[in-house]
Structure 1
């Protein structure tokens, strides 16, 4: 079984990682609407750590990770998101990426009764050559990167993110 795809996730072990509060009913692909200005208050922390990837309430990436993503996907669109520490009057800027939606879940993928994914299996033929994308057909925001982008991420000193190998259907 090939492992050429990786799920980009937030490393939950980082104490003080920026944590946006609140919920949002906006899908990342709707972020290109110029009339939408997203801002979130953040959870109070003794010392705030600016991580490079925030998973919830929407997948947000740091400026450094955005610059790398743009090298691999020059046409991908981004919308700025402000994260605010109201007490200290501090603001942190992140990016909401409009990741391509790719319907590449294999028939071998498994779902929980509530419709969330239990086991992700990628059909590499359907995934094509997208360096970074969001799984279509899932209730969650799963961000998948290919091997080349994963290696490029690992060569840099990013904070607060993990890459987890994803099963790939044998063909």
Structure 2
């Protein structure tokens, strides 16, 4: 089976950036048994003179998806929880709703993965085949990064819907 990492496409240079993500949503709480510690609705204020390009997937500060991508995720994980996030740009009088998916963390990261010296970023992702769950989408356990993986069928479903700003990178399996 083939698997793909879902990330924000770096070609979208005007994607929203918000500075206070860490203060408002602690990454440690983005698991089902701790999600109650995250507010049901969180507002992030955007700034800058440029008009933000509200793409379907944001993964730089937090892993956030639009309503349509959320619906695609639910096709593969019907019980997946989400927290609502509002990105507002007061100067431009714009707002976009995103959703923070609350995935179980799966320990399937291989020792063959290539990481930065401080192990904060996975440069080349390798998964252990025996530990991969039988789910269309899952999150790889990592202390610093949010790594969301799609099985081939889920990746194809995402590609068919022509989402903007979604990048799929094929993952090696050992």
- TM category (shorter chain) comes to 0.7 to 0.9
Question: In the alignment, which residue of structure 1 is the partner of 2:21?
Answer: 23
Q: Is 2:135 the counterpart of 1:130?
A: yes
Q: Provide the TM-score with structure 2 as the length reference.
A: 0.86
* Structure 2: stretches of 5+ with no match in the other structure: none
Task: Please say if residues 125 and 171 of structure 2, whose CA atoms lie closer than 8 Å, have aligned partners that are also in contact.
Answer: yes
Q: Is 2:9 the counterpart of 1:11?
A: yes
Question: In the alignment, which residue of structure 1 is the partner of 2:165?
Answer: 160
Greater Cα offset, 99-108 or 151-160 = 99-108
Q: Is 2:70 the counterpart of 1:66?
A: yes
SS at structure 2 position matched to 1:153: helix
SS at structure 2 position matched to 1:24: helix
Greater Cα offset, 22-31 or 58-67 = 22-31
Q: 1:119 to 1:157 in 2, by over 3 A?
A: closer
Question: In the alignment, which residue of structure 1 is the partner of 2:59?
Answer: 55
Q: Which whole-Å deviations, capped at 9, do the CAs of 1:24-77 have from their partners, x for residues lacking one?
A: 151222444464532111243533322000012110001000000001100000
Question: In the alignment, which residue of structure 2 is the partner of 1:149?
Answer: 154
In angstroms, what is the RMSD of aligned CA positions?
1.9
Tell me how many residue pairs correspond in the alignment.
167
Hey, what's the Cα distance between the residues in 1 that align with 2:127 and 2:47? Answer: 35
Greater Cα offset, 4-13 or 130-139 = 130-139
Q: Is 2:42 the counterpart of 1:38?
A: yes
* Structure 1: stretches of 5+ with no match in the other structure: none
Hey, what's the Cα distance between the residues in 2 that align with 1:144 and 1:45? Answer: 34
Structure 1 ranges of 4+ moved more than 4 A: none
Hey, what's the Cα distance between the residues in 2 that align with 1:49 and 1:140? Answer: 23
Task: Please say if residues 38 and 80 of structure 1, whose CA atoms lie closer than 8 Å, have aligned partners that are also in contact.
Answer: yes
Question: In the alignment, which residue of structure 2 is the partner of 1:109?
Answer: 113
Hey, what's the Cα distance between the residues in 1 that align with 2:62 and 2:168? Answer: 18
Q: Which whole-Å deviations, capped at 9, do the CAs of 1:80-119 have from their partners, x for residues lacking one?
A: 0010102133221000000221101123223332123243
